[in-house]
């Protein structure tokens, strides 16, 4: 999952208040609250940042072992996805000029 990328769902709006997020899912007319760490995770989900990069940032910002938080963050992301707050971004591998798809190392 570390290569996966997530973004906030199009109908999600949120505001940070004292470090915590108030999240509104407009289509579902739901309001959710996230603690400061959950708020930071939601803030970092821009559709570009991979889960691996997210884990690196959280580990650095909170001075915690990356491996220690990995499984908890992955479960949290799946919960957010199931609740319709975020969605997984499907990445398309670029094609090389010869029409072949580039491999993971760019070759």
pLDDT averaged over every residue in the chain: 88
Per-residue pLDDT reduced to its tens digit, 42-77: 999 999 999 999 999 999 999 999 999 999 999 999
Q: Tell me which residue of 78, 57, 75, 79 sits closest to 66, measured CA to CA.
A: 57
Q: Which helix (H) or strand (E) holds 16?
A: strand 12-17
Is 3.90.930.60 the CATH number for 5-89?
Answer: yes
User: What per-residue confidence (pLDDT) applies to 1?
Assistant: 81
Calculate ∠ Cα 20-25-31, nearest 5°.
50
**Domain coordinates of the chain in residue numbers?**
5-89
Give the ranges where the chain is alpha helix by DSSP (H): 36-44, 51-62, 66-82
Distance CA 66, CA 38 (A): 16
Q: What percent of the chain has pLDDT over 70?
A: 85
Can you give the pTM of this predicted structure? 0.79
Six-digit token string for 57: 């940032």
Hunting for tokens 């709006």 — which residue is that?
A: 13
More confident position, 75 or 105? 75
User: What per-residue confidence (pLDDT) applies to 82?
Assistant: 94
């Amino acid at each position: 999952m570390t290569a996966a990328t997530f973004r906030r769902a199009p109908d999600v709006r949120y505001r940070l208040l004292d470090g915590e997020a108030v999240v509104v899912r407009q289509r579902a007319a739901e309001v959710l609250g996230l603690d400061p760490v959950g708020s930071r995770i939601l803030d970092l989900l821009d559709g570009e940042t991979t889960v691996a990069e997210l884990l690196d940032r959280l580990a650095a910002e909170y001075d915690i072992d990356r491996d220690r938080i990995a499984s908890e963050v992955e479960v949290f992301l799946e919960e957010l996805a199931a609740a319709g707050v975020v969605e997984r971004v499907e990445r398309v591998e670029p094609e090389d000029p010869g029409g072949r798809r580039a491999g993971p190392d760019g070759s």
